[in-house]
């Protein structure tokens, strides 16, 4: 079951605030929101207005996609994030070619390809009923 947006945003805001070493009152003051209201937002009980979300992004230095649970659509990964995509000595030529091509895809294309690969893996899993 998918987590509600208010909960996703609240958790992300709390994590970013703690990383920044700020209190709820600090953030609320900087974005022009009552601290009680900010606390409700962090607990996932409400969503901020768009203007406050923008201010929150600026104050906590977090891109909006992180608050909306859209990290996978954010674009290319940060340096070092793709360590698992490095070829290994035992990789086949086909696998190395696939890895090179994967690096050229957008985040959205990688997500779609991952869904397709997941379906292929599930289809080949022993004991799974196969539809025709």
pLDDT single digits (tens) 18-61: 999 999 999 999 999 999 999 999 999 999 999 999 999 999 99
Name the band, by pLDDT with cuts 50, 70 and 90, for residue 76: low
pLDDT single digits (tens) 98-113: 888 888 888 778 888 8
Q: What is the pLDDT of residue 14?
A: 95
Would the pLDDT of 122 be above 60?
yes
Buried residues in 15-54 as b, exposed as e (16+ CB within 10 A) = ebbeeeebebeebbeebebeeeebbbbbebeeebeeebbe
The domains of the chain, with CATH numbers, are: 5-71 (1.10.260.40), 83-124 (no CATH)
Higher per-residue confidence, 59 vs 120: 59
Would the pLDDT of 131 be above 90?
no
72 contact partners, CB below 8 Å, separation of at least 6: 107, 111
Would the pLDDT of 78 be above 50?
no
Contact 60, 30 (CB under 8 A): no
pTM: 0.54
Contact 74, 63 (CB under 8 A): yes
Q: What is the pLDDT of residue 41?
A: 96
23 φ/ψ sector (left φ>0, alpha ψ -120 to 50, else beta): beta
Q: What is the pLDDT of residue 132?
A: 44
Which of 10-14, 68-72, 85-89, 118-122 is the least confident region? 85-89
CA-to-CA dists, residue 43 to 24, 48, 52, 69, angstroms = 11, 12, 16, 16
**Tokens found for residue 42:** 């962090």
Higher per-residue confidence, 80 vs 90: 90
């Amino acid at each position: 079951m998918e987590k509600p947006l208010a909960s996703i945003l609240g958790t992300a805001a709390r994590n970013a605030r703690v990383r920044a070493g700020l209190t709820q009152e600090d953030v609320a003051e900087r974005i022009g929101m009552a601290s009680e209201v900010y606390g409700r937002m962090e607990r996932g009980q409400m969503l901020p207005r768009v203007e406050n979300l923008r201010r929150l992004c600026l104050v906590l230095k977090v891109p909006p996609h992180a608050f909306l649970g859209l990290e996978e659509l954010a674009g290319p990964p940060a340096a070092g994030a793709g360590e698992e995509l490095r070829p290994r000595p035992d990789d086949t030529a086909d696998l190395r070619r696939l890895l090179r091509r994967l690096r050229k895809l957008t985040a959205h294309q990688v997500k779609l390809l991952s869904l397709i690969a997941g379906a292929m893996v599930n289809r080949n899993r022993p004991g799974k009923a196969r539809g025709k």
